[in-house]
Chain A
Amino acid sequence: MSAILPPQQRIWWKQPIDKVELIWITIAFVWCMVMFFMMPYWHVYGRQNLSPETYRVKPELFQRAAQEMADKYTVRTETDEKIPVVAPPAGSDVYLIARLWSFWPILELKKGETYRLHLSSMDYQHGFSLQPENINVQVLPGYQHVITIQPNRSGSYAIVCNEFCGIGHHKMVSRLYVKD
């Protein structure tokens, strides 16, 4: 019976299944299981996992922590706005502030070392998009997200905001250096 008419057999749930359907459902289910196990597998054996470590934080306190880091480790300033370039020691806590419409400060990291990167926003939601690496993380106000990062290539990177945050959104771009 056609799909726009009631089923021919009243007890449709007892209708036998075609072989082709049964084989396909089995294949599809096995494939779904493979995808199912890939995520936990990558947590055990893979190296790219997002940390769930998060704290509630008041914007002022986060800003103070970032300021303290900048006061200690600023090596130079860049652009007319004199944005500090901060080179904190390997293994330390580094802070990155997102606000309308900039990231602050500019970080200078060492290749192969690990850092605890703290991300938070002072106002609206922002996006942390590291280019050309293409790592993308959501940044929320009121939360500090701590991710342990290990840069594996040296060079100059851009941090682009990829969450719409108002009229200056497309100018919200910053830099990050990785040195050998």
Chain B
Amino acid sequence: MKTNIPYLYSVKSFWARKATNGLTAAGMALVVYVFATVLMLTEGLERTLVATGSPNNVMVTRRGAETEIQSAVTREQANIIASYSEIARGLDGEALVSKESVVLIALPKRDTGKPSNVTIRGLSPTGFRLRPRVTLAEGRWFRPGTSEIVTGNKIAGGFRGARLGERIRFGLRDWTVVGVFDAGNTGFGSEIWGDAQQLMQAFRRTDYSSLIFKLADPSRFEAVRERIDADRRLPLEVERESVFYAEQSEMMANFLNILGLTLSFIFSIGAVVGAVITMHASVASRTREIGTLRALGFSRVSILAAFLLESLLIGTVGGVVGIVCASIMQFLTLSTMNWQTFAEIAFSFTLTRPIIVKALGFALGMGLVGGFLPSLRAARMDIVDALRAE
């Protein structure tokens, strides 16, 4: 009794029914494509927001506020914290702390003219030094004390008035775009920056929105938190900047995940049905061949394995095609409103190795489930009956 598997038989069988197997694999490829792109989307969003904050920076907001927009930090509170000894100092001895003012302005999109909310951030002169990843791409930085602004690279092309040399009007003033900055793969690329004092005057605000500073010793974070919590004058919340931004992806990521996985599950049933139909027909039309193989001494297990292998091949082809199509999506950037912050955020589809593994596993799983019953049927055939079949 031989139990070796006729591998070549599986491969040749797969090739013999190109059209049908191709269609089945195409159905699976579509499912894998949807599955992979949803994972890529969630991954892209999370990465962008995680990359935005730095773990050595501390973000201070009002207690209970979930976003900088809802937050308010008075000048007095800001000054108390700005004098903390835990704050890192630059080479020039300046404390690396930025008192910032964050608001949303509605800007028309360049292509449709429909307004969307863009984050506009007023920084202290030290604000740039807290975000080393942000570099100037065009023009120059704004001069403190003027109505000059710089726009993030994800905003400049997408919104009217946001390109170098253009103007945006708000707060009874015209603001000139004097530079465009490149924020790499971070959320800052979806922001507009200007001088904090000027923006607060324009918006008639007396309070800052948040305070960001760099820790001289990153391990002192908990100490700073305790110190602020213990101070009755400071009804504020402290979080590492990286954690603060990462939390802002939760709502969207959850929604995308639930929707994507539900869809993938429903679609996969359709694809599995396709695989069952294909494999079932494949077994039915090869009854005699199966009988012959058995008569040659191949065991039931070998037959089962041979047909399962064929089904797994269909799954593999579908999976690879689906992943290849999904990987093309990496060139796309999606710009949408983050429901948590109510502001525009741009992020890319990000393909990672775990996503490839998951998608391939998913495709193989579909092939396995779809091929199992028909393969079982092939293995359980009676030799004599099978040889007699038409």
A and B are interacting partners: no
B residues touching A (Cβ–Cβ < 8 Å)? none
- Residues of A participating in the B interface, judged by any CB pair closer than 8 Å: none
